[in-house]
Structures are given as C-alpha cells and as structure tokens.
Structure 1
Amino acid sequence: VYAKKLGVNIDELIVSQPDTGEQALEIVDTLVRSNAIDILVVDSVAALVPRAEIEGEMGDSHVGLQARLMSQALRKLTGSISRSRCMVIFINQVRMKIGVMYGNPETTTGGNALKFYASVRLDIRRTGQIKDRDEITGNTTRVKVVKNKVAPPFKQ
C-alpha cells in the first residue's frame, strides 16, 4: 500500500524474502545477470544474516562473518552489475561503536567492502517532521553525498 502511494507500479514489483544472506545475494546475482530488471534494492545489509549464524547456537561468536559474505558477494556482483547496467541499491543501518572516545562513534554493518565497491554512498537522516495541523504527513531529511565516483562528493 505504501509503495503504491509513492508511485511504485506494484504489478512490476518483485519481492523476495530469503532465509539467509547467501540466498539473498544469490538472488541478487541471478536477477542482475538476467537483464530483466533496471533497479534492485536490498533492504537491508544488516538483515543479510549468514547461514552459519542462523544455524549456530545463540551465544556462538561469528566475528567478521557478515563482512566476509559481503566482500565475496561484491567481488562476484561488480562485473555483472557493470555489464547489465542495473542499479543495485543497498540500504544499511548506522550502529554505534562501543567505547569510542575520539572520532566518529558511528559505523555501518557488513565491513568495508560495500564502502569500497559503491559508486555512490548517501548518508540520509531525518531532521524533522512535516505536519498538516496535528497530523504528521512526512519527514524532512538531510542527504549528504559521502562518496560519488560520478560527480563531486560532499554535497548536502
């Protein structure tokens, strides 16, 4: 319903909810290689949970597993994306680094591969609400271009 209100053609929309991060990234690869789509959105990188983490016990440590998954997938996807001319958008979340006294305490999940391989990176933050009388009708946002290989960076 929300997507339709935004103008998305629901009849052309493909929604997939895979069980593991590996499945999700294989679906991304298959769709990109098919040349049947123009835009693909992965929502979100933080939700791409590796199979080993899902199948493991609750207290098991899986240090760097998601980062390795993203690195491997992006190495494989980069060429396919370039050849297909498909736009792939990865949505990610900001997390807080624990114990950081100096520098930026914020980080994103999935390691550094996504930061390296991305052509464009945007930092989008809600700055306020748009109200019509007492009803909230939208949000005001700030978009900062963090990385842009196709135009000058750091625009707001």
Structure 2
Amino acid sequence: MLISQPDNGEQALEIAENLIRSGAIDIIVIDSVAALVPRSEIEGEMGDSKMGLQARLMSQALRKLTATIGRTGCCCIFINQLREKIGVMFGNPETTTGGNALKFYASIRLDIRKSGTAIKDKDGNTIGNPVKVKVVKNKLAPPFRVATFDIIFGEGISKTGEIIDLGVETNIIGKSGSWFSYENTKIAQGREAAKQFMADNPELAKDIELKIMEKYKPAEGSHSENDADE
C-alpha cells in the first residue's frame, strides 16, 4: 500500500495520474475532493477571492484521468463532502464540493450516511456506526438501490451483522421480538448479542452464510433461457 500526502491539489492529481498510468495500481483512493486545494489558493493571501478554481482543476484533471483509467482498468475512488447551498428555499440544499465535473464523469456515486445511534460494546464504548448507503448514480447496474449495514472501527463492514440481517430476511434465522433463533433453537436476545454469538461460533456462522448465498443464487438455466430469447 502506498500513501502520499501532497502539498496541493495539482500535485495530488498529478500523482494519481502517474500511478494510474503506470498500470501497477488496481485501486486508488483520493481523500478527499474538498481537500484538493489549488496551488494558487495556498500561495495567495487569506481573504483573496478564488471562485471556481477547484471546480476548474477537477474538470481538467478528470478529462485526463478518464481515458487513462479506461485503458488501465484502475478503480479510482473519490471521497467527497457535503455542503449546503446558500439561499435555497425549496428542494435539497445539499451539494458536493469540487463543481459538477465529478458528478458527470463518475460511473457510480454512493451517498453514505450514518443511519442510527452509535454501536456500543458491553462496557458502553462506541465501537462503530450503522450506515445507510444509497446508489444515486450507476452506469453499470440499476441505480437508487439502498443498503444498510454496520461499520465497526478498525474492522470495516460487520460480516456478522450482515449474516444476522440477511438470515432474518431469508427466514434462515428466526426472529421473535428481540430473540433470534436458528433451527428452532434460541441463540441470543438482541441484535448485538446475536452478532457476538456468530463471532463466537464461526462454523455455525459459515453454515448460515452458505445457506444465505444459496438463497440468493440465480436459478439454474435462467441465463441460458434469456440468451435463447435474445
């Protein structure tokens, strides 16, 4: 893994372009668009008017990056931040930084937000957050789909949480009130306790995971039938 902390936006995007062009990088993450400050803004004085510099920088950079990404197959992820438009009375006042170029060039755009109260361990320490993700743009698959899951600090997406949620959704895991059960045997009371039970019993968790994957597996022959119709 390579980590770079450039001095300004131009330098950051030049480094990204060189890495992508090399073909040696599969994924590059730019965190964040809001921090891509143009060189002239950094070298200028506080209070100087620098309207549109960042948007111009992003537009120029993305025109160059798009073709290079297409040739190398590198996945380029831009993390952005939300701002509120001034004086908006109707509609959504939220917008992203860096102008409109990234919105147009991106193949997929995800709106990621905290969706509930923080997740705490048995000692009351905050260990993660529940997250809701909406696909606001997708050139590769149907857009506007929504996913909810837990992000645990230092771990990432909680796999045990996914097993519990999808297990209940597919009726592989039973849920009655706050109790969870598997094959008519109660396993835990409360979602966090059920997650801990899965973590403590990895073989059972793997067995449930395989059953969930079998439920979501496409029916045999469905692709061949569709191909024949075409």
TM-score (norm 2): 0.62
Q: Is the partner of 1:102 in helix, strand or coil? A: coil
Give the gaps of 5 or more residues in structure 2. Answer: 147-230
Aligned to 1:22: 10
Amino acid in structure 2 at the alignment position of 1:151: A
Out of 120, 129, 132, the residue aligned to residue 131 of structure 1 is 120
Q: 2-side partners of 1:107 and 1:70: how far apart?
A: 16
Q: CA deviation at 1:141?
A: 0.3
Which residue of structure 2 aligns with residue 4 of structure 1? none
Alignment partner of 1:88 is 2:76: yes
Residue in 2 aligned with 1:140?
A: 130
Q: C-alpha offsets along residues 111-130 of structure 1, whole Å, 9 cap, x if unaligned?
A: 00000000000000011211
1:37-56 equivalences in 2 (<5 Å): 37-56=25-44
Alignment partner, residue 189 of structure 2? none
Q: How far apart, CA to CA, are the structure 1 residues paired with 2:72 and 2:25?
A: 9
1:95-134 aligned at under 5 Å gives the runs: 95-128=83-116, 129-133=118-122, 134=124
State, as a whole percentage, how many aligned pairs show the same letter: 73
Residue 98 (structure 1) shift: 1.7
Q: In structure 2, the residue corresponding to 1:62 is in which secondary structure?
A: coil
Q: Which runs of 5+ in 1 are unaligned?
A: 1-12
Q: Equivalences for 1:59-78 in 2 at 5 Å?
A: 59-78=47-66
CA distance in 2, matches of 1:151, 1:47: 30
CA offsets per residue over residues 66-94 of structure 1, 9 Å max, x none? Answer: 00000000000000001110000000000
Q: After TM superposition, where is structure 1 displaced by more than 6 Å over at least 4 residues in a row? A: none
Partner residue in 2 for 1:58: 46
Paired residues, what number?
A: 144
Q: What secondary structure sits across from 2:115 in the alignment? A: strand
Larger Rg, first or second structure (1 or 2) = 2
Deviation, structure 1 residue 132: 1.6
Q: Which structure's relative contact order is higher, taking Cα pairs within 8 Å and 6+ residues apart?
A: 1
- 1: distance between equivalents of 2:128 and 2:51? 38
Look up the SS of the partner of 2:28 in the other structure: strand
| One-letter amino acid matched to 1:149 | K
Distance 2:41 2:125 in 1: 42
Relative to the length of structure 1, the TM-score reads: 0.91
> Please, what is the CA RMSD of the aligned residues?
0.6
More helix by share: 2
Provide the C-alpha distance between the structure 2 equivalents of 1:96 and 1:70, rounded to a whole number of angstroms. 20
Q: Secondary structure at the match of 2:2?
A: coil
